[in-house]
Chain A
């Protein structure tokens, strides 16, 4: 028997955890992998399923709450597995450094349904540095009266920044809302305008 009173160091636990992560990954048991990255807009949570990036969350959404909701909606097999999100993290870094205008990532839009998902699929059509109004997006998806529903689709975008709902404004040019808060929306628009 080992000395069970021996203190368990955080390094010890970290190395065991890493081993678990590798084993779970190789057996395909991590249904949702996540990591947290630093960005000019604060810490961003990135989460990915086997299909692709499924969630980007700002700090103001409370990352623990987001993970709990992913456990309910997708699968409780959630582990911090940074390597699975290397590419997404790199592309976001490049975006914030003005080196990237479009994201080239597999996306999993399964958190959105129906009309909202349809709108979110079309948002990447708005080019970097440009903006559209909620009304124009409603027309683009062939439902000109659904301005409000477009607003909801933007507000519930599970992949902010990557799906550029920040490029959608009110018809009068005012900001409208933003999941990461209005200062984040302004910062993203300024970032793209500066390029």
Chain B
């Protein structure tokens, strides 16, 4: 039986926001969240009952994030001088902020694999389904991402324990 869409928003709203925030800045993340659920409610009646709703939503969110990235590239905001605004984030690295900056600079596949694996806790099989490619490739992207992070951000990433 298909759940009312309200329940879908309640169950997966936080996860989708985390995915959007891992791929976009905080305001664009809000837009991506809205667009994800708007697209989802439109398509929801045709979604097969056996579908993994969370993986489906994550796929939509990822596509919306890419759209927003592309739109931003097409419409660069012209400014004469780059603003030198004081940061509201405090001392860099004092929380985990810098780590996620670093994650943000990883190659796309690695960044997404890390996000899906460590923020959402998805199994590699699901990550592979979203990224395209084999389970082994998803595992490798995640491992390479961790290796890169260790290089640029020593001490911040624990050894991966494979808990599948």
A residues near B (Cβ < 8 Å) are: 1-6, 8, 12-13, 16-17, 19-20, 23-24, 27, 29-30, 32, 34, 67-68, 70-72, 75-80
Contact = CB atoms under 8 A, between A and B. Distances in A.
B55 to A, nearest CB: 18
Contacts of B25: 1-2
29 contacts: A1-B21, A1-B23, A1-B24, A1-B100, A1-B103, A2-B21, A2-B24, A2-B25, A2-B26, A3-B97, A3-B100, A4-B119, A5-B96, A16-B13, A16-B33, A20-B34, A20-B41, A27-B38, A27-B42, A29-B41, A30-B41, A32-B4, A67-B7, A71-B2, A71-B4, A76-B3, A76-B44, A76-B45, A80-B6
A68 B4 contact: yes
Given A2-B29, A77-B41, A78-B4, A16 B21 contact: no
Contacts of B119: 4
Interface in B64-106: 89, 95-97, 100-101, 103-104
A5 B41 contact: no
Chain B interface residue count: which class? 35 or more
A16 B100 contact: no
Nearest to B101: A1
Contact of A71 (B3, B13, B30, B103): B3
A4 B100 contact: yes
B4 A70 contact: yes
A78 B5 contact: yes
Given A20-B38, A24-B38, A27-B38, A68 B100 contact: no
Contacts of A4: 18, 21-22, 100, 115, 119
Interface in B11-56: 13-14, 17-18, 21-26, 29-30, 33-34, 37-38, 41-42, 44-45
Interface in B110-162: 115, 119
A17 B4 contact: no
Contacts of A79: 5-6, 9, 41
B14 A19 contact: no
Nearest to A71: B4
Q: What 6 A-B pairs are tightest by C-beta distance, nearest first? A: A1-B104, A78-B4, A2-B26, A4-B21, A76-B2, A2-B21
Nearest to A32: B4
A18 B99 CA distance: 32
A77 B21 contact: no
A13 B22 contact: no
A165 B109 CA distance: 61
Nearest to B38: A23
Contact of A78 (B6, B14, B24, B115): B6
A34 B95 CA distance: 42
A29 B9 CA distance: 14
B149 to A, nearest CB: 13
Nearest to A5: B96
Contacts of A29: 38, 41-42
Given A3-B100, A79-B41, A72 B2 contact: yes
A41 to B, nearest CB: 23
B41 to A, nearest CB: 5
Contacts of A75: 45
B6 A5 contact: no
